[in-house]
Amino acid sequence: MGFATDCIHAGQEPDPTTGAVTVPIYQTSTYVQEELGKHKGYEYARTHNLTRRSLERNLAALEGGEDAYAFASGMAAIQAVLTLVKAGQRVVVSDNVYGGTHRLFTKILANYAVDFAFLDATDPGNLEREAGRFELLWIETPTNPLMKICDIRALADVARRQGALLVVDNTFMSPFFQRPLSLGADIVVHSTTKFLNGHSDSVGGVAVVKDRGHADWLRYVQNAVGAILSPFDSWLVLRGTKTLHLRMPRHEENACAVAPFLYQHPKVERVFWPGFPDHPGHLVHRRQASGFGAMIAFELGSLDAARRMLARVRLSSLGESLGGVETLISHPATMTHAGYSREDRAALGITDGLVRISVGCEDAADLVADLEQALAAV
Ligand SMILES: Cc1ncc(COP(=O)(O)O)c(C=O)c1O
């Protein structure tokens, strides 16, 4: 089936009891059994829930995976995937990732004798030379918030030569624009909180795998650890993905108006967006994705300038998160990437003057006008 058809139908069948077109919210903790060991395949809701399962099947289809497992947050999905790594093993991570991912790896999982090495993954050759032996390679592309581009196919080759897994956090692109499993990645994770749900009203995460063994392990972890996505949140994300193919082009169309506006603005020192031909990852991104997405970062030069601009936005909402139909604007240094040390942020270029915008689905002219009046305060 085509992508739009999968968005609307994959993983979902009319409810067998009533014929309801929409998968119901199976809000139950348990299921009645006829006699010992005789039941309909549903025993307890941490283990089995048809609303969650429908979402998982839907997301597996959208990413082209064998199976998917949904978790209570993007971070819970990331943590579940990291259970594939054992004490004494090594994980290589692209140097710029979401601050929460960096925090989980360096402040929590590093305590379990897993070694994390952060390297610039924009150059696969550099990674191959520097990385040494590793069991898992973790990347974002584009990265949050600097929009660096990693070559998924080339990094999949590097990982495969090591017998290592490649995991791609595909939150910024969504499967509408980029399908890492088809480029050689082993596992894709998402914060479903973002574009997949798309309406800023649910927190969740998913891991999509193409290997049956990984699927079985993640199902086991999902049940054993218990960080499941609730039936209501599963239903919300399932409703969100029904319009993913309609929302993403609109997000991008608006980004195509906002990014050039920022680029030419005298108060903006630099704009990070892979759609610009002078972006160092432009060609790689074009090869591996069908669009540039709606995440843009820009440099205003100082904390004071960023503070003044962010205090003036009216239509864009100042807040953490991204991927909603409403435009969200944030300050990585004090919000999403506060978990990095000041030195690490400085080394990467996550400055105090950096602002990140998740361009929503409003009218582009209104968004540009709002940014223009806010930049007048800088
Ligand atoms: C790229 C990326 N991955 C993972 C996460 C974590 O997701 P959640 O907030 O749903 O736990 C985020 C959150 O902002 C993110 O931006």
Distance CA 122, CA 68 (A): 27
| Ligand 1 touching residue 205 (CB < 6 A) | yes
Give the distance (Å) from ligand 1 centre to CA of residue 203.
9
Cβ atoms of 289 and 183 within 8 Å: the answer is no
| pLDDT tens figures, 247-295 | 999 999 999 999 999 999 999 999 999 999 999 999 999 999 999 999 9
| Ligand 1 touching residue 98 (CB < 6 A) | yes
Does the pLDDT of residue 2 top 90, yes or no? Answer: yes
Q: Which of 229, 213, 226 has its CA nearest to residue 84?
A: 213
| Ligand 1 touching residue 99 (CB < 6 A) | no
Give the distance (Å) from ligand 1 centre to CA of residue 96.
13
| pLDDT tens figures, 190-204 | 999 999 999 999 999
Structure tokens at 33: 């059994």
| pLDDT tens figures, 121-170 | 999 998 999 999 999 999 999 999 999 999 999 999 999 999 999 999 99
If you take atom 11 of ligand 1, which residue's CA is the nearest one? 74
Give the distance (Å) from ligand 1 centre to CA of residue 30.
30
Distance CA 221, CA 201 (A): 26
Task: Provide the pLDDT for residue 33.
Answer: 97
- Concerning whether 169 is annotated as a catalytic residue, the answer is yes
Asked whether the CA dihedral 337, 342, 347, 353 is positive or negative, the reply is positive
Write the DSSP string, 233-256: HHHHHHHHHTTHHHHHHHHHHHHH
Task: Provide the pLDDT for residue 78.
Answer: 99
**Mean pLDDT for the stretch of residues 48-68:** 98
Cβ atoms of 228 and 72 within 8 Å: the answer is yes
Give the distance (Å) from ligand 1 centre to CA of residue 205.
8
Q: Which of 283, 106, 67 has its CA nearest to residue 186?
A: 67
| Ligand 1 touching residue 65 (CB < 6 A) | no
- SS3 per-residue string spanning 46-64: CCCCHHHHHHHHHHHHHHC
Task: Provide the pLDDT for residue 339.
Answer: 85
| Ligand 1 touching residue 143 (CB < 6 A) | no
**Mean pLDDT for the stretch of residues 234-243:** 98
- Concerning whether 194 is annotated as a catalytic residue, the answer is yes
Q: In which band, very low, low, confident or very high, does the pLDDT at 209 lie, cut at 50, 70 and 90?
A: very high
DSSP annotation of 98: -
- Cβ neighbors of 109 (< 8 A, separation 6 or more) are 79, 82, 85, 116
Task: Provide the pLDDT for residue 331.
Answer: 98
| Ligand 1 touching residue 202 (CB < 6 A) | no
| Ligand 1 touching residue 170 (CB < 6 A) | no
- Concerning whether 112 is annotated as a catalytic residue, the answer is no
Does the pLDDT of residue 364 top 90, yes or no? Answer: yes
- Concerning whether 314 is annotated as a catalytic residue, the answer is no
- Ligand 1 atom closest to the Cα of residue 76 is 11
The residue annotated as part of the active site, out of 98, 233, 352, 356, is 98
Does the pLDDT of residue 107 top 90, yes or no? Answer: yes
